[in-house]
Amino acid sequence: MKILQVIGEYLFLMKRVFVRPKKMSYFRKQLIQEIDDLGLQSLLIVSVISLFMGAVLTIQTSLQTESPWIPTWTIGFVVRQSVVLEFSPTIISLFLAGKIGSSIASEIGTMKVTEQIDAIETMGINSASHLLLPKIIACGIVNPLLVIISIFLCLIGGWFACEFMSTIPSQQYLEGLMSFFRPYDIYYALIKTFVFAIVIASVSGFYGYRTEGGALEVGRSSTQAVVNSSFTLLFFNVVLTKIFLG
């Protein structure tokens, strides 16, 4: 029954979040700030992770498919499909759940325990929409862009592994990347990432709002936000894969 209560509280909070902002000028300013804080600040680490992830995936795929019966270009094809359909959307989103989720939960939790949210409500402002809506929309905008960059850099990382580590001839790798390409796969990856972004921001904000007590409880809320947003993300990963690819 407790999980049903939590789900009910989450849905009630989201009902308050998704309303039209009263001051659009403030909302636009805050949205730009959140895009920078939550998304662009993650660009460097996402790029580094993606390059190494693509190189490692290419090397491992090459080692597992050493057979005269399997064309060499198949490695490029397998790497591309793995990166586009699963590795970049899911792994990068899990990383962002840790980085962005903890940031949102700790920020909102700190405001809750220091009664800043109560002060906002006292002024007649919908604090849920005022604080969370810019964060949710910013994640929905930036996270798919980060995943597009991640896909590109993963494939570049695979090319580096071929070119400088003599994994397979780079020409064969590039041939595999271009073989049997379907734009639908990219659409699927972006839709999945968008859903993940909404989950990360909204679940993390929800646990921030539930914070009661002091600094210790803020840390616990941050941990709960990361764990539960990651779990929810993986659940939706299965559901969306079944819907779009099943």
Return averaged pLDDT per consecutive 10 residues of the chain, 246 residues in all. 84 91 86 87 91 93 78 89 93 92 91 88 87 93 94 94 84 89 92 95 92 84 92 94 87
What is the pLDDT at residue 70?
Answer: 76
With contact defined as beta carbons under 8 Å apart, do 108 and 131 qualify? yes
What is the pLDDT at residue 63?
Answer: 85
| Proportion of the chain in helix, strand, coil states, percent, rounded to 5 | 85, 0, 15
H or E segment and range at residue 147: helix 127-165
What is the pLDDT at residue 1?
Answer: 57
**Has residue 10 been placed in a domain?**
no
Distance (Å, whole) CA 154 – CA 160: 10
**Has residue 41 been placed in a domain?**
yes
**Has residue 67 been placed in a domain?**
yes
If we measure between CA atoms, which residue out of 126, 106, 103, 135 comes closest to residue 30?
Answer: 135
**Has residue 9 been placed in a domain?**
no
Ordered alpha helix ranges (H), 65-126: 74-82, 92-113, 116-122
**Has residue 5 been placed in a domain?**
no
Domain count, the chain: 1
- Copy the structure tokens of residue 230: 């990651």
The parent domain of residue 226 ranges over 23-245
**Has residue 84 been placed in a domain?**
yes
**Has residue 14 been placed in a domain?**
no
What is the pLDDT at residue 25?
Answer: 84
What is the pLDDT at residue 231?
Answer: 94
